[in-house]
Amino acid sequence: MKFEESKVLQHLPKQFFANLVAKVNAKAATGADVINLGQGNPDQPTPDFIVKAMQKATADPADHKYSLFRGMPRLKQAAADFYKREYGVDLDPEKEVAILGGSKIGLVELPFALLNPGDTMLLPDPGYPDYLSGVALAQVKLELMSLSADNHYLPDYQQLDSKVVEQAKLMYLNYPHNPTGAVATPEFYQDTVKFAKAHHIGVVQDFAYGAIGFDGKRPVSFLQTPGAKDVGIETYTLSKSYNMAGWRIGFAVGNADMIEAINLIQDHLFVSVFPAIQDAAIAALNSDQSTVKTLVARYQKRHDDFYAAARKIGWEPYPSGGTFYAWMPVPKGYTSEEFADLLLDKCAVAVAPGTGFGKSGEGFVRIGLLIDEPRFTEACERIGKLGLFKK
């Protein structure tokens, strides 16, 4: 028998990173010493105290049973306490927190949980490619908010087409921003709340890189904005702050209706997350956050090392305020994909072309700061030999 995928699945976007990984693997198979700056997978291990909490929890028979459908009340409490302590935000743990098996799941299922086929949603361009999976699964209409360096990669709400704005029901934001490292200001979030209220648009702010701010500046949470909970939610993940990307745990916080929609769809898709992982997440969230400080210091050093190495060859980075990425301009005469191919081919340096994150990513490539020196210097020296940048 032969089976065909459903029409919905046939409309899923191509996985952008699968193509990049194939190219990098093909290059490495030639024996080249590839410096891979293309991906976003945290390279450091999960802090030991979290691993130990997980080990203890896996030995507890209570953690072997089905979880409550909506996750452990004590994890929701830990998430609420975390937001209170870190951002001064008050949350009702039962009504305003939803446990997610990684924030990607929440971001992909949300359009399906909140919108009807044919409804309109707004996504940032450039932006995290997986948002597009949610658009395809929910069969909603996508409108892009084109972001540019001129406006610090923040959407300019005045510039959006008024017809699109009137139709839009949901909007995604992501600060600190993957792929550019741009950060949002409290004023921008205040404008966002006003805009969302005026046009009845739900806001989802993806705070995946919330812990990673540079130069001592801490990224602000959208929920710190007065009125934010009336219009939207924020998603948070333990993947980046605690190097737990493989564990699959995160949460969404904010507007009670949106949280209920997430919980309802998840009642039908999952039985929450393995309880031992939830217990380990509690240990992480309730900790003194000293491991997060150490991690941010490591990313700051990498950011400084990479910027210094790039500037030495005349390659000026976009001034990023957070995340573990650097957003680098492409020299004249190349598209971002051509330049990424050239770097892999001639320098054995893998980078992600900006267009992998949307049309407005043209003219840039994204560098992942997920290795230590001396590899940044080596990568930049190899690239410098191409002679494409003016010093």
Ligand X SMILES: Cc1ncc(COP(=O)(O)O)c(C=O)c1O
Binding site for ligand X (CB under 6 A): 40, 102-104, 128, 174, 178, 206, 208, 237, 239, 245, 250
Please identify, using beta-carbon distances, which residue of 125 and 206 lies nearer to ligand X.
206
Amino acid at 292: V
**Non-local CB neighbours of 383 within 8 Å, separated by 6+ positions:** 313, 315, 343, 347, 349
Report CA-CA distances (Å) from 346 to 17, 34, 133, 326.
21, 11, 33, 21
Please identify, using beta-carbon distances, which residue of 40 and 384 lies nearer to ligand X.
40
Considering the complex, what minimum distance in angstroms separates the CB of residue 38 from ligand X?
13
Considering the complex, what minimum distance in angstroms separates the CB of residue 381 from ligand X?
28
Calculated CA dihedral for residues 70, 72, 76, 78, nearest 10 degrees: -160
Considering the complex, what minimum distance in angstroms separates the CB of residue 209 from ligand X?
7
Please identify, using beta-carbon distances, which residue of 100 and 348 lies nearer to ligand X.
100
Please identify, using beta-carbon distances, which residue of 21 and 165 lies nearer to ligand X.
21
Closest C-alpha among 148, 109, 144, 104 to residue 123: 144
Please identify, using beta-carbon distances, which residue of 120 and 237 lies nearer to ligand X.
237
Considering the complex, what minimum distance in angstroms separates the CB of residue 353 from ligand X?
16
d(CA 283, CA 287): 6
Residue with tokens 């210091």: 297
Closest C-alpha among 333, 322, 323 to residue 389: 333
Alpha carbon distance, N-terminus to C-terminus of the chain: 63
d(CA 125, CA 64): 42
Structure tokens at 187: 């004023």
Please identify, using beta-carbon distances, which residue of 42 and 202 lies nearer to ligand X.
42
SS3 state at 234: strand
